[in-house]
Copies of this chain bind each other. A is one copy, B any other.
Amino acid sequence: MTIKEIARLAGVSNSAVSRYMNRGSLSDDKREKIKKVIEETNYIPSSYARAMRTRKSNQIGVIVPKINSESVSRVVSGISKVLNEAGYNFLLADTDRSLEKELEYLEVFRQGQIDGVIFMATIVTKKHIEHLRELQKPLVLVGQNIPEFACVYHDDYMAAYQMTKTLLDTKCKRFAYIGVTEKDVAAGKSRKEGMLRAAREHDLKEEDIVMAISDFTMESGRTAMRELLQQAPDIDGVFCATDSIAIGAMDYLKEIHRRIPKDVKICGIGDKKVSRLITPKLTTVHYYYKTSGIEAANMLLDRIQTEEQPTKHTMLGYELRIQDTI
């Protein structure tokens, strides 16, 4: 069924049918005729032709590092909610934490039928910046603060500062930090710097702090904890850049029968659901992941609908969740 056939069957012109489907401005009798024919034939306009003609797909590209991760899937859930209500669909690109795949998808989305892109960033290289510039489509970053582009992110620096300060206030003697690569500015660099500020305020020098770099898995957090203890067996306070790391570290501490929080205090960032299920309950920082997805999607829709927008930066707050590991 094409618009042409409908027009023929209804005894009107193509344009009349097109008007019927879109705005209006049509006499009532034609409207009736067309309505009847369309109902009889179950006519559906070709979204292919429409997209080609209007250069609008109503599709958003969403790039995420790992969909089967709690924080990411919560962000996506927020994005989904907003976009759907606005009549948009979205293509999900899961990069499995591969920087190359991120670049590839930016390219795919640049070439494809995509009205805008939400990019949940981790490590942002120069190449990333170049690709983002070349995108030439409305864009919002989630999770990282890049001045040049519109962003939604959390206050990692202050979150880490407050969490560390709270930990150090409990007067632990030997303080350790397990972070992630500083190439990830939000989770790596900012959180480390926040932690360092709190340490300084407690008269700790950087060289007094036992530190390790982990990746985003529990297993890696576990290993880091083990290695730190070999280096400094008297550790009695650990701040971890993420909950997964903290949970992995706790797992090891339990295994070697260190009591938490009596022997070792520990805390993280992210407030994963499991934090409240394990024993003892992990002290952590709540992040508004779903909200950040909602904010990002709304921001993107703004940018799509009204051009010449200034790049907006939205920084979300956080909330300390003091539980039983501190």
Task: Point out residues on A near B: beta carbons under 8 Å.
Answer: 44, 46-49, 51-52, 55, 57, 59, 62, 66-70, 73-74, 76-77, 80-81, 84, 89-94, 96, 101, 108, 110-113, 247, 251, 273-274, 277-279, 290
Contacts and interface: CB of A to CB of B under 8 A. Distances in A.
Given A48-B55, A68-B76, A76-B92, 6 more contacts: A48-B52, A48-B113, A67-B80, A68-B290, A77-B96, A89-B108
B68 A73 contact: yes
A113 B51 contact: yes
A156 to B, nearest CB: 21
Nearest 5 interchain pairs by C-beta: A48-B52, A68-B73, A80-B94, A92-B92, A68-B77
**Of listed A44, A67, A111, residue having the most chain B CB within 10 A:** A67
B93 A89 contact: yes
A67 B76 contact: yes
Contacts of A62: 92
Given A67-B67, A91-B91, A279-B278, A113 B47 contact: yes
A49 B47 contact: no
A74 B80 contact: no
Contacts of A44: 110-111
A80 B91 CA distance: 11
28 contacts: A44-B111, A47-B111, A47-B112, A48-B51, A48-B113, A49-B52, A51-B113, A62-B92, A66-B77, A67-B67, A67-B73, A68-B73, A68-B76, A73-B73, A77-B96, A80-B93, A81-B94, A81-B96, A84-B93, A84-B94, A84-B101, A89-B91, A89-B93, A90-B91, A113-B113, A251-B277, A274-B277, A278-B278
Nearest to A71: B68
A66 B55 CA distance: 31
Contacts of A110: 44
Contacts of A84: 93-94, 101
Contacts of A96: 77, 81
